[in-house]
């Protein structure tokens, strides 16, 4: 299924803002559109939120693999404004993208930076299409990298999917030396959604509270960019210069 990010945001607006929750959250109301869109996987989408937090890593990944054919397929979930801002905001030579998907953003950033792209499963043709990017399979909740390994860490349209959001945030901060950039959908929580999202951020403080300020954060900000939340923070304590980690 192919749909642009702009069209997806328009659909979300109609579903989130125009339909009353008493109707939107009824299984009898949502079943027919789910059946039409997802076919035999409709029940998987209907029940995912009730089951997801109890699944082990293998079972969680299996859900995504088995439903891959009915998910929205596009080069990137990023809207154009977020894509441009990320390219402008990245600092330093060493960059990590967590939740790289098909590798579109990593490929763009790899033209100017030394990029490592990580996801729980690497898209089959991503390596071939982006040979200048280093691809590594790994879970955002257990990133296979040393502390402060990267000048900038970028994570887009990923945190809404994770089982343990607090753990994922700690891991992103752990491996970031200078800057952390996160993009998530501005989406209201619904019992049934046309995606496998577990976390929702309709208001900015709902994302900020997941990134509590502490001694490791020099500064932070959040903006709505092209309909999605764009969060960035500047790290303290360590800085990377020419790819070498040094005391700040």
| In a domain? residue 75 | no
Shared-domain flag, residues 202 and 233: yes
Residues 64 and 88 in one domain: no
Domain boundary among 40, 70, 100: 70
Query: Does 50 map to a domain?
Result: yes
- Bridge partners (DSSP) of residue 176 are 150
Same domain, 221 and 139: yes
**Which CATH number belongs to the domain containing residue 87 in this structure?**
3.40.50.150
- State the DSSP H helix or E strand holding residue 173, giving kind and residue range, or none if neither: helix 165-175
Q: Which residues of the chain have pLDDT under 70?
A: 1-9, 11-12, 72-74, 237-248
CB-based burial label for 13 (10 Å; 0-12, 13-18, 19+):
middle
What is the reported pLDDT for 92? Answer: 95
Residues 103 and 222 in one domain: yes
- Sign of the alpha-carbon dihedral angle for 80, 81, 82, 88: positive
**Residue 238 and residue 161 share a domain:** yes
Half-sphere exposure of 130 (CA within 13 A, CB side): 26
Last residue in a domain, options 49, 70, 91: 70
Per-residue confidence (pLDDT) for residue 176, from 0 to 100: 97
**Residues 38 and 117 occupy one common structural domain:** no
Q: What is the pLDDT of residue 4?
A: 56
State how beta strands 134-137 and 114-119 pair: parallel
Residue 175 and residue 214: Cα distance in Å, rounded? 16
* Same-domain check for residues 150 and 232: yes
Same domain, 65 and 84: no
Question: Is 129 inside a domain boundary?
Answer: yes
* Residue pointed to by tokens 């979930």: 77
φ, ψ (nearest 5 deg) of residue 75? -60, -35
Pairing, β 228-235 against β 238-241: unpaired
- Does residue 136 fall inside a structural domain? yes
Task: Give the residue numbers spanning the domain of 39.
Answer: 5-70
* Residues 195, 239 share a domain: yes
In a domain, 42, yes or no: yes
Cα atoms in the 13 Å half-sphere on the side-chain side of 161: 22
How much is the pLDDT for 122?
87
Domain end among 70, 97, 126: 70
Q: In residues, how long is the chain?
A: 248
Residue 173 lies in a domain: yes
């Amino acid at each position: 299924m192919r749909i642009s990010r702009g069209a997806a945001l328009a659909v979300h607006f109609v579903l989130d803002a125009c339909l009353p929750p008493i109707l939107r959250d009824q299984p009898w109301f949502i079943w027919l559109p789910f059946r039409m869109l997802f076919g035999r996987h409709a029940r998987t989408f209907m029940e995912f939120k009730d089951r997801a937090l109890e699944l082990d890593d293998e079972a969680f990944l299996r859900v995504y693999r088995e439903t891959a054919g009915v998910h929205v397929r596009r080069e990137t979930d990023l809207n154009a404004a977020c894509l441009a801002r990320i390219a402008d905001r990245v600092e330093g030579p060493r960059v990590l993208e967590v939740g790289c998907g098909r590798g579109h953003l990593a490929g763009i950033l790899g033209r100017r930076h030394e990029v490592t792209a990580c996801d729980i499963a690497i898209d089959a043709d991503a390596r071939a299409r982006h040979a200048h990017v280093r691809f590594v399979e790994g879970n955002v909740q257990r990133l296979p990298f040393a502390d402060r390994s990267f000048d900038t860490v970028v994570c887009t349209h990923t945190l809404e999917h994770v089982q343990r959001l607090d753990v994922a945030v700690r891991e992103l901060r752990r491996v970031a030396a200078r800057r952390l950039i996160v993009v998530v959908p501005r989406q209201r929580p619904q019992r049934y959604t046309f995606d496998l999202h577990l976390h929702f951020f309709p208001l900015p403080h709902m994302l900020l509270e997941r990134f509590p300020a502490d001694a490791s954060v020099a500064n932070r900000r959040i903006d709505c960019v092209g309909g999605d939340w764009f969060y960035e923070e500047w790290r303290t304590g360590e800085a990377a210069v020419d790819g070498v980690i040094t005391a700040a």
